[in-house]
A and B are shown apart, each in its own frame.
Chain A
Amino acid sequence: MRRSRSGFTLFEVALALVLLLALSGALLTVTWNVSRLSASTEERSERETAVADLFHRLEAAAIGAHATSFSGGAGWNGDEASLRVSMTGFGDLPRNIAVSYSAERGEVELKDVPVGTGVSADASAALRIAGVSRFRLQYFVGGRWIGAIPEGEAPAAFLVSLWFGSPADADGAARAESPPDRARVFALLGATLGDGE
């Protein structure tokens, strides 16, 4: 009798073990879910902020765009996956803005290279957006939307569309067929001012 009171019974120890295991399992599940949700929220938030930054820079490029580049060519060059704009910002040095998309890396890259400062055109990217499964540029030229800027013409507007996800991922590939996650139209003020009353 005295012996049985000095410790725990087998049933008590087994019950304690079961409870401990159940609680540990629940704790692990909660921690795993919370950390996964937290990581995905952080990643999404960083990507949304980077896209907002990209749109902000492109808006500035649309306002300060030149008809001709600093080397004498067209100020605008673009196709479905890349765009280069020669521009002068407000109080800034003349600069070339270049946006491109790498399907292999699932990454959009923006380079902002000041002209005449000795900075190489291969300067590191000013902005990188990872986790983009599809990227598309369209241009409004001559009353219709097309996939590349014809030589010698400037678009009245251009549309940037981004789909999030990994290109290699099946989910990312499926999402690339649905409407874009972010899209923005930019107007070139210089192209429309001449048409106003």
Chain B
Amino acid sequence: MIAARRGAFLLEALLALAIFVAMGIALVRITDRSATAAAGSAASMRAFDVARSGMALLESGAATPETLGDVLGSLGADGGFEVDVRTSPAATAGVVDVVVEVRARVSGDGATASRLEQAIVLPRGIVEAAR
């Protein structure tokens, strides 16, 4: 009877241990997942910064569609992203449709991290180049 009671005690202890370990693993996983989600959200914000900066550089005449990636890099404002720019004349004279796409350089999957499409008034030299 005593031996049986001892066996039950060991089983109880093992079960408690298993529950304890499972809870610990779950806690670590949840925290890790929330940290990954926060990092992803921060990366999205940076990608948006790059896209918005690209549009502002074009609007202000500080860069052309051809030089945008280099200018962003030289200013330290590319955030480690690749930038792709496409322009096409809009229906209104002097206005150009600009699409700025930002992709992660490291991940390699080519997925677009941020995309901005805007009809903007570009400085004269850039408008002529976009036509």
A residues neighboring B (CB under 8 Å)? 5, 23, 26-27, 30, 33-34, 37-38, 41, 44-45, 48, 51-52, 55, 59, 138, 140, 145, 156-157, 159, 161, 179-180, 182-189, 191-193, 195-197
Which of B60, B62, B77, B121 has the most CB atoms of chain A within a 10 A radius of its CB?
B60
A197–B76 CB distance below 8 A:
no
Interface: B110 (CB within 8 A)? no
Question: Is A187's CB under 8 angstroms from B57's CB?
Answer: yes
A-chain residues with CB within 8 Å of residue B84 when the two chains form the complex:
none
Whole-angstrom CA separation of A185 from B41 in the bound complex: 20
Given A44-B42, A159-B75, A161-B76, CB of A183 within 8 Å of CB of B60: no
Give chain B's interface residues, CB within 8 Å of chain A. Answer: 2, 17, 20, 24, 27-28, 31-32, 34-35, 38, 41-42, 45-46, 49, 52-57, 59-62, 75-77, 79-80, 93-94, 121-124, 127
Q: How far is the CA of A51 from the CA of B31 in the complex (A)?
A: 24
- B contacts with A: majority SS: helix
- Residues on A with beta carbons closer than 8 Å to the beta carbon of B49: 55, 182-184
Q: What 4 additional pairs, Cβ within 8 angstroms, besides A185-B77, A196-B123?
A: A5-B2, A34-B28, A156-B62, A188-B60
Could you say which of B2, B20, B38, B76 contacts A180, with CB atoms under 8 Å apart? B76
Q: Are A195 and B28 in contact (CB under 8 A)?
A: no
Contacts of B60 in A (CB 8 A): 140, 156-157, 185, 187-188, 191-192
Q: Assess whether B124 is in contact with A195, with CB atoms less than 8 Å apart.
A: yes
Task: Report yes or no: B28 in contact with A182, Cβ–Cβ below 8 A.
Answer: no
Q: Pull 30 A–B residue pairs with CB atoms less than 8 Å apart, ordered by A.
A: A23-B20, A30-B24, A30-B27, A38-B34, A45-B38, A45-B41, A48-B41, A48-B45, A55-B49, A138-B75, A145-B62, A145-B75, A157-B57, A159-B53, A159-B77, A183-B76, A184-B56, A185-B62, A185-B77, A186-B56, A187-B56, A187-B60, A191-B60, A192-B59, A192-B61, A192-B122, A195-B61, A196-B121, A196-B123, A197-B127
